[in-house]
Amino acid sequence: MILSCQNISKAFNEKSILRDVSFHIEDYDKAAVVGINGVGKTTLLRIIVGEMAADDGLVTLSKGKTMGYLAQNQAVNSENTIYDELLSVKADIISLEKQIRETERAMKHCSEDELSRLMESYTRQMHAFESANGYAYKSELTGVLKGLGFTEEEFEKPISTLSGGQKTRVALGKLLLLKPDLIILDEPTNHLDLNSIAWLETYLLNYKGAVIIVSHDRYFLDKIAGKVIEIDQTKATTFVGNYSDYAVKKEQLRTAALNAYLNQQREIKHQEDVIEKLRSFNREKSIKRAESRVKMLDKIEVLEKPTETRSDIHMTLTPKYQSGNDVLHIEGLSKSFGPLTLFENLSMDIKRGEHVAIIGDNGTGKTTILKIINELLPADEGTITLGSHVHIGYYDQEHNVLHTDKTLFEEISDAYPTLTNTEIRNTLAAFLFTGDDVFKQIKDLSGGEKGRVSLAKLMLSEANFLILDEPTNHLDIMSKEILEDALNAYEGTVLYVSHDRYFINRTASRILDLTEKQLIGYLGNYDYYLEKKETVEQNLLTKSSAAPLVKPEAVSETKLDWQAQKELQAKQRKRENDLKKCEEKISELEAKIAEIDEQMQQPEIATSVFKLQDLTKEQEALNAQLTELYEKWELLAE
């Protein structure tokens, strides 16, 4: 065991955040700490690393073990370049390397007596150098920098010129190179692109030490975690397995706990009713019996109500009008900023009902595409055509669509003047803004709170084409799942940019990968993209190298692939529509059959042979239709 936390408790302003939290971490554990926003996850990490004192409890790190901590926004203040800052971690190896060179020089000009002593010293130095992986420290450093998304051109950038996110990546690189026995990471994927996150997953999985992670990235937790520590209602519960294993077990436990709570509440209410009735008799014996039941009731250990599953945000997305089948057509789109070309000659089509995710490395221009579609930025070249009756709802990760000097109430009332005060308050309450919260100014809100206001406006927009830029940023896991369910139930069209692979997996029907200034399409979710990515890229390289051999009039395989994809999408949409119609017809027939059952039980019909015969024939015909519909539904569902 490398770390033990025993009965950790912490309160702020008499409000208990953590109470008797206990768990342990073994030498090679990869553990995730999960819970809703504000539950105390970061507080727990700060207590473990000694940045904050617990009110009660004990944190014990095994003797001789080392620990490293990465905070959510960990600034690195230094005059060094990026490369030199990480190189400072290897100061001991660099010093040892200098000693070895000095010993080598000394051995060339020493006496025989002194040579023996220098050789012994040289042997010890070389052994220490090899044990510290001294021959590979420069390549290791370069590998970490590239893995975290820094290019070789950026290695010489001064730390002082970096953004907050880049500085956090530098801090993460230093921590990984230090190789402590226990790494503690608070939201390590916030400033990483998809390739860097995948690299970090592999690094941590192979790490010869223990890791504790706080993260809202469920895909990341599924890959890394073998143990999940949940903080809920100030208590900690440990689950074995990754995030998906935890989610299943948690729901089972929550259901059992809720049933036990409801059963106990029913029993308590029953006893209270009996007590009240006994007292109302106002007889000596009845009053004594009532008092006996009161004593029995007082001895019951009342169960705490479990946290309601996904009870925070209430969100439904409903388009007011249906758009035409062709929602968006882009042709020949190009954009540069000065000498930097983000993309050129991009083309795409989006059909009604599609859920399309744009993915790619940081800085490739994903957000720029969304801004051009929304006319917030001009394109250098190309055309953008919206289909008939398309009404856009835009979610901006920078929340520029919000007015900083307005209150929350004004933000909603000015955008939707037909809403009553009660409707505005109810909408804001559905996104956790209650009481005087509605009079806060937008500029005083946190990133997560601004995100919730933007989602509230999006819900009210009744748009049939949603364009979302990093919609899950600042949302906790429960809120992400609510948004996912809302999008999956949404009958309009969705185009979004996201780094949240779990979110993409649950909501995308098609992926567009922005790479090498071009879009590559994948007809499926994120897992499908991972499965096909290497094959598709290899095919594109093969086609590129064979391009001169293709006759001008030949139809490219890429175009054929795209046509096949569109045909497959059309078939999929037809199947889904047929399935929906079939389900509606089944519900209609079942209702008619149930109505006939009720009619047959009525006295005036039950005593009439002729009426019963007619209703029976009608019911048999309906049952035959229903059997056929069930068979059709099974075929469509498959």
Query: Which of the listed ranges 288-292, 547-551, 628-632 does the model predict with the highest average pLDDT?
Result: 288-292
pLDDT over threshold 80, residue 608: no
| Position 163 confidence tier, pLDDT thresholds 50, 70, 90 | confident
Question: Is 259 within 8 Å of 63 (Cβ atoms)?
Answer: no
pLDDT category at 620 given cuts 50, 70, 90 is: confident
Name 390's Cβ contacts closer than 8 Å, sequence gap at least 6.
Answer: 323, 324, 327, 328, 464, 465
Residues 487-524 have pLDDT tens digits of: 999 999 999 999 899 999 999 999 999 988 999 999 99
Please tell me the predicted confidence (pLDDT) of residue 634: 58
More confident residue, 611 or 158: 158
Per-residue pLDDT reduced to its tens digit, 466-486: 999 999 887 778 788 888 989
Predicted TM-score (pTM) of the model is 0.68
Residue 38 banded pLDDT, cuts 50, 70, 90: confident
The pLDDT assigned to 609 comes to 72
Give residue 564's pLDDT band: very low, low, confident or very high (50, 70, 90): low
pLDDT, position 552: 33
Per-residue confidence at 234, pLDDT binned at 50, 70, 90? very high
What does the alpha-carbon distance between residue 243 and residue 251 come to, in Å, rounded to a whole number? Answer: 12
pLDDT at position 615 is 83
Give the residue among 556, 557, 503, 501 at the shortest CA–CA distance from 529.
501
| Cβ–Cβ < 8 Å for 411, 457 | yes
Q: Is the pLDDT of residue 555 over 70?
A: no
Phi, psi of 28 (to 5 degrees): -120, 20
Average pLDDT value for residue range 443-464: 86
State residue 559's pLDDT score. Answer: 44
Q: Is the pLDDT score of 633 beyond 70?
A: no
Rg (CA), the chain: 32
Q: Which pLDDT belongs to residue 554?
A: 35
Answer positive or negative: Cα dihedral of 509, 514, 515, 520: positive
- Given a cut of 80, is residue 297 above it in pLDDT? yes
Could you report the per-residue pLDDT of 359-417, keeping only the tens digit for each? 988 888 999 999 999 999 999 999 999 999 999 999 987 777 788 899 999 999 999 99
C-alpha 204 chain-centroid distance: 19
Selection from 104-118, 172-186, 300-314 with the highest mean pLDDT: 172-186
More confident residue, 291 or 616: 291
Q: What confidence category does residue 309 fall into, taking pLDDT thresholds of 50, 70 and 90?
A: low
Is residue 318 within 8 A of residue 469, CB to CB? The reply is no
Report the percentage of the chain scoring pLDDT > 90.
Answer: 48
What is the 3-class SS of 393-459, one letter each residue? EEECCCCCCCCCCCEHHHHHHHHCCCCCHHHHHHHHHHCCCCHHHHHCEHHHCCHHHHHHHHHHHHH
Range 229-243 average pLDDT: 93
- Residue pLDDT, tens place only, 247-283: 899 888 888 888 999 999 999 998 898 888 878 877 7
Tell me the average pLDDT of the chain.
Answer: 86
Q: Does 567 have pLDDT greater than 80?
A: no
For the chain, percent of residues with pLDDT exceeding 70: 93
What's the confidence (pLDDT) of residue 543? 60
327 three-state secondary structure: strand
Architecture, CATH, for domain 326-535: 3-Layer(aba) Sandwich (3.40)
Closest by Cα among 306, 275, 302 to 291: 275
At residue 581, the pLDDT reads 83
Between helices 477-489 and 447-461, what is the axis angle to 10°?
Answer: 20
